[in-house]
Amino acid sequence: MKKGLNVKHIMLAVTFVLVSMIIVACGDNSNESATNDNSDGQDTDTTASGETVELVAATINPQDALLAQTLIAFSEEIEEQSNGEITFTVHTGGTVGNASSLYQSVITGDIDMIYSDTGWFAEQNPVFDILSTNYLFEDQEHYESIVNTPGSLAYFEDLLVENPGLKTVMYAGGLERNIISTFPIESAADLEGRAMRSGGGTAEMTWWRNLGANPTTIDFNEVYSALQTGVAEGSQNSLDAMIEQRFGEVGDYVARTQHNLTLGFIVMNNDRYESLSEEHKEAIQRAAEIVQPEYIAKAFEQADEDALTLEEEFGVTFTDPDREELIEISRIQMNDLAEEFGVVDVINDIFN
């Protein structure tokens, strides 16, 4: 009887040992499997730059407009430079919001990238009002020498990074504004006492007054009738707007003042930008170096084409006023603002 018990005890002991060994073996396999999972996870992290990054860009400009085409071309070039690792959805024509909402959305990060003029940046940094004044740039050569030179506008770029947290990734613009009128303009003296349409902004009203004109606030959609009836004798607009709105039917003259050459910023939410790999940041920079000068040059080419259209299709007569005189008068406004904000040296270094 005792022998039977001993055998049973021995068998139980052996069984216990075997079961324990199996459990340990299973545990080792589980640990090995977990290690492999962790290893795969580490490999995924190290190859994160190879994964697709999806970005959203937007502008209020219609799809066919040059500034919208610039944003589209930039996004496509980024996709190419990143070998498809960065992809874009581009919204044009204000389909995802007006200018104000797009600006707020890129600040909050709901949209990754937008095209914006400088006026919105003045909400956080009033010094940007300087960039809304006329004759910052004397001509195409002056414009391109500043805008296409990396670091030239670093002062303003740094302000945007600090507040409201936007990274400037490219510049767009070069579209020119001129004066359409019912009378010929050869010099500033021809503007003395003339009723000139203004959109109502302080900068524009001040500019007209400095030139001796009498500015009157008129909505953009009423400019045609104002010129037709004599309520306004002139208006400052881009050449493409003069064509689209058919101002050439009621304004016989265009003074090729080129007093304003569009300076637009393409900006990203800075947190989103900083979250990108170095390779992806470099892809964005390479894309900007290709697209920016190409589309700025296109803007200047378009101006010449638009001028020809106004001459041939609308019978408009172009005049070439004394630019030196206009520049001197117009820059009073820029210099006054530079003094007000304490950035005289900064502005002189950039634009003079």
pLDDT for residue 1: 38
Q: How confident is the model at residue 51 (pLDDT cuts 50, 70, 90)?
A: confident
Domains plus CATH for the chain? 52-180+223-351 (3.40.190.170)
As to burial, measured by CB atoms within 10 angstroms (0-12 exposed, 13-18 middle, 19+ buried), residue 58 is buried
Residue range 96-141, pLDDT digits in tens: 999 999 999 999 999 999 999 998 999 999 999 999 999 999 999 9
Q: What's the pLDDT band for 50 if we cut at 50, 70, 90?
A: low
Mind listing the pLDDT tens digit for each residue in 231-281? 999 999 999 899 989 999 999 999 999 999 999 999 999 999 999 999 999
Q: What is the pLDDT of residues 302-316, one digit of tens each?
A: 999 999 999 999 999
Alpha helix locations (H) across the chain? Answer: 2-46, 66-81, 99-108, 140-147, 154-162, 202-210, 223-229, 239-244, 270-274, 278-314, 323-341, 344-351
* CA gap 15, 230 in Å, rounded: 109
Give Cα 172 to chain centroid, integer Å. Answer: 7
The mean pLDDT of 61-69, rounded to a whole number, is: 93
Question: How far is residue 211's CA from residue 85's CA, in Å, rounded to a whole number?
Answer: 52
Q: Model confidence over 133-189: pLDDT tens digits?
A: 999 999 999 999 999 999 999 999 999 999 999 999 999 999 999 999 999 999 999
Residues 311-350: tens digit of each pLDDT: 999 999 999 999 999 999 999 999 999 999 999 999 999 9
Asked if 234 and 181 touch (Cβ cutoff 8 Å), the reply is yes
Q: Which residues, 6+ apart, have CB-to-CB distance to 267 below 8 Å?
A: 106, 113, 114, 116, 160, 166, 167, 168, 169
The pairing of strands 86-91 and 53-58 is: parallel
pLDDT score of 64 more than 70: yes
pLDDT computed for residue 169 by the predictor: 99
Residue 96 near residue 113 (C-beta atoms within 8 A)? no
Which residues does 185 contact at the CB level (< 8 Å), separation at least 6? 179, 191, 234, 253, 255, 257, 319, 321
Reported confidence tier of residue 202, pLDDT bands at 50, 70, 90: confident
What whole-number distance in Å separates Cα of residue 25 and Cα of residue 15?
A: 15
Task: Identify which of 273, 232, 280 has the alpha carbon closest to the alpha carbon of residue 52.
Answer: 280
CB atoms within 10 A of CB 140: 17
User: Among 102, 125, 113, 126, which Cα is nearest to 170's?
Assistant: 113
Q: How far apart are CA 220 and CA 315, in angstroms?
A: 22
Dump pLDDT digits (tens) for 6-37.
433 433 343 443 434 434 444 444 333 333 33
